[in-house]
Chain A
Amino acid sequence: MADMWVTMGPQHPFSHGLWTLKVRVDGEVVKDAIPVIGYLHRGWEKECENRTYPLIIPMADRLCYSASMTWSHVYCKVVEEAMGIELSDRAKYLRVVADEICRLQSHLMWLAAMGTDLGNLTVFLWALREREFFLDLNVKLCGQRLTTNYPRLGGVRNDMPYFFERDCMRAVNRFEKVLWEIIGLTDESSIFLSRMRDVGVISRKDAANYGLTGPTMRGCGVDFDVRRDDPYCNYDLLDWEVPVCKEGDAYARYKVRIEEMFQSCEIIRQAMAKLDSIPKTDPIRVKAPRNVPAGTHFARVEDPRGESLMYLVSDGTDRPYRLKVRSPIFVNVSASKHLVQGVRIADIPAIMGTIDMCLGETDR
Chain B
Amino acid sequence: MAYNSILDWVKFTDPMTSSGYPYGDVYNLPYDIGYKIWELISGLIAWLIDLIVPGNEVSTFLTETPLLTNLLSITLMVVVIFAVGFIVNLTMIWEERKVLGRMMDRRATRVGPLGYFQNLADGLKTFLKENITPSSADKKGYMWALTILIGTSVLLAFMIPLSGRWFIVDYRTGLLILFGLFAIAPFMILVAGWSQNNKYTLLGGMRAAAQMISYEVPMLIIFASVALMAGSLNINDIVNAQHEYMWYIIPQFLGFIVFIIAAIAEAERIPFDLPEAEAELVEGWQTEYSGMK
Contact = CB atoms under 8 A, between A and B. Distances in A.
Tell whether any CB of A sits under 8 Å from a CB of B in the complex: yes
A13 B278 contact: yes
Nearest to A4: B199
B203 A28 contact: yes
A126 B279 contact: no
B140 interface: no
Contact of B199 (A6, A13, A122, A125): A6
Given A125-B104, A126-B104, A6 B279 contact: no
Contacts of A12: 280, 282
B105 A119 contact: no
A301 to B, nearest CB: 32
B280 A191 contact: no
Interface stretch (B182-190, B246-254, B267-275): B267-275
B203 A121 contact: no
B200 interface: yes
B67 interface: no
A129 interface: yes
Nearest to A129: B105
B104 A14 contact: no
A345 B278 CA distance: 13
B243 interface: no
B200 A6 contact: yes
A348 B200 CA distance: 14
B203 A13 contact: no
A335 interface: no
B160 interface: no
A348 B280 contact: yes
B203 A345 contact: yes
Interface residues of B, number: 16
B52 interface: no
A125 B279 contact: no
Given A6-B199, A191-B271, A346-B274, A126 B105 contact: yes
B200 A13 contact: no
Of the listed residues A116, A129, A346, the one surrounded by the most CB atoms of chain B closer than 10 A to its CB is: A346
A117 interface: yes
Max count, chain A CB within 10 A of own CB: residue among B105, B270, B278, B280: B280
A191 B272 CA distance: 11
A116 B280 CA distance: 11
A47 B104 CA distance: 44
A52 B106 CA distance: 46
Nearest to A25: B203
A348 B203 CA distance: 15
B213 interface: no
A163 B104 CA distance: 31
B270 to A, nearest CB: 7
A126 B103 CA distance: 10
A192 to B, nearest CB: 11
Interface string A1-41: 00010101000111000000000000010000000000000
B104 A346 contact: no
B273 A119 contact: yes
B226 interface: no
B280 A14 contact: yes
Contacts of A345: 203, 280
A125 B101 CA distance: 10
A118 B279 CA distance: 7
A283 interface: no
Nearest to A5: B199
A178 to B, nearest CB: 11
Nearest to B199: A6
B103 A119 contact: no
Nearest to B101: A125
B277 interface: yes
Interface string A80-120: 00000000000000000000000000000000000011110
A20 B158 CA distance: 46
A293 interface: no
Given A4-B199, A122-B104, 16 more contacts: A6-B199, A8-B280, A13-B282, A28-B203, A116-B279, A118-B279, A119-B270, A119-B278, A122-B103, A126-B105, A345-B203, A345-B280, A346-B277, A346-B280, A348-B280, A349-B280
Interface of A: 4, 6, 8, 12-14, 28, 116-119, 121-122, 125-126, 129, 191, 345-346, 348-349
Give the 7 A-B CB pairs with smallest separation, nearest first: A125-B104, A349-B279, A14-B279, A117-B279, A122-B104, A6-B199, A349-B280
10 contacts: A12-B282, A13-B279, A13-B282, A119-B270, A119-B271, A119-B273, A125-B105, A129-B105, A346-B274, A346-B277
